[in-house]
Structure 1
Amino acid sequence: MENTKTDIDRRIAVRLRALRGERGLTLDGLAERSGVSRSMISLVERGESSPTASVLDRLAAGLGVTLAALFAEAERADANPVARRTDQIAWTDPATGYRRRNLSPPGFPSPIELVEVELPPGARVSYDSGNRAATVEQQVYLLDGTIDLTVGEATHRLSTGDCLAMRLDRPTGFHNPTDRAARYIVALTTDGRPALNAFKR
């Protein structure tokens, strides 16, 4: 599905408000947990801002969900278990041009989320959300190209066919050091358990 900027901003706004409400968090409460300012959260929830991947990841960390969950639909019993390519939500980071597509069936109850990512030549995407409200496990599988994936202090160069498993409990960064796009699949799962380092300052 080729979504317009307005469509995506609206979807994120609705989803963010719903997730914050489900957790009983005020704007100030989410701001404290995520490190994103109250004013920025308010703008995102009104659909008046196009947040970057880094901002969205910090909000997801504060809510105890994955980044993919901010683009997903609430689980429902009648959800279709098949997600056709034409119905999958695609989003482009306004800061880096990195493009992500939610592959998992929207609304279908599952502990696993799949995302396809295209990282443009030379692009860097950094996530500084070491503190998370829940434990998130992730694996990255390179479909094509090369990326340097930094987890904490360690950097791993991944090429086509390589797979890296990691826990999202420290800052991470993705860098495409080549002159052609890299494509990879991200598989994520969260069990709802509080992360060991959750919100320790």
Structure 2
Amino acid sequence: MSKAEPDDTGDGTNAISDATVRDVPVIVGSNLRRLRKAQGLSLERLAELSGVSRAMLGQIETAKSVPTVSLLWRVADALGVPVATLVATEQEPSLVVLTRDRASVLVASGGRYSSRSLSPANRSRGAGFFELAFAPGHREEFPAADLGTRCNLVVAEGRLKVAVGRDPAVTLLQGDAVTFEASANYVIENTSESRTVVYLVVTAPLP
């Protein structure tokens, strides 16, 4: 008989609850380790951000300790996620297909610029992955982001110039890449006579 099915003597609620309680250390530890690594945090850095000792975080990740609610709040706040995320039993699928016809696309500047998100809708707020397209000769200005935000850009097709703040513009050819601090206004200009496509990864600062 499946555990999901009630037996003949009751509704099965107690059995499910008991199993869930026993699994709490494993669930929390697995979620914490996954979230920490996804944000590129070491145990030492997370300890600094949360005020929870490295030793305690290590015990939680290895399911050797069950954290208190207060401790969970501190860790969740440091990671920038809801507390429920640390105790969630449903994990994201290992493979997510983002079909072009169902993508989230922003079209601006009279259709001369477009941005397509290449991240799932429920992605971590700490990072974003985008496909940008610029019409021939088009120049697009982008506002400054929060201090500590970084952009990593690679040219897939065409040629363009990137100017950040008051720094001199740099020219990028197909296959070239650039990384820059995005806390100042920046401009991307397609200097070619054909459509230019770039891929952009935006990483937000740690909370």
Using structure 2 for the length normalisation, give the TM-score. 0.50
Identify the residue that residue 131 of structure 2 maps to in structure 1.
Answer: 116
Q: Is the 8 A contact 1:148 1:157 kept in 2?
A: yes
Cα offset, 1:109, TM superposition: 3.0
For residues 124 and 178 of structure 2, what CA distance do their matches in structure 1 show?
25
- 2:164 is aligned to 151
Q: Shift in Å at residue 168 of structure 1?
A: 0.4
| Aligned twin of 1:100 | 115
Is 1:189 the counterpart of 2:207? The answer is no
1:135 to 137, 148, 156: 148
Q: CA shift at 1:139, angstroms?
A: 0.6
- CA deviation digits over 1:167-192, x for unaligned, max 9? 10212101111110000100111124
Distance in 1 separating the partners of 2:186 and 2:125: 25
Letter in 2 for 1:104: S
Matches of 1:151 and 1:109 in 2, distance apart? 26
Contact kept? 1:83, 1:106, Cα under 8 Å: no
Q: Corresponding residue for 2:5?
A: none
Greater helix content: 2
1:12 aligns with none
Aligned residues with identical type, % of pairs: 16
Partner of 1:88: 103
Partner secondary structure for residue 109 of structure 1: coil
Q: Give the TM-score normalised by the residue count of structure 1.
A: 0.52
- Indicate how the Cα distance of structure 1 residues 164 and 133 shifts in structure 2: closer, same or farther if over 3 A, else same: closer
Q: Are the counterparts in 2 of residues 140 and 184 from structure 1 also a CA contact under 8 Å?
A: yes
Aligned mates of 2:205, 2:186 — CA distance in 1: 20
Kindly provide the amino acid, as one letter, of the partner of residue 127 in structure 2: I
Higher Cα radius of gyration:
2
Q: Retained in 1: the 8 A contact 2:155–2:173?
A: yes
Higher relative contact order (CA 8 A, sep 6+): 1
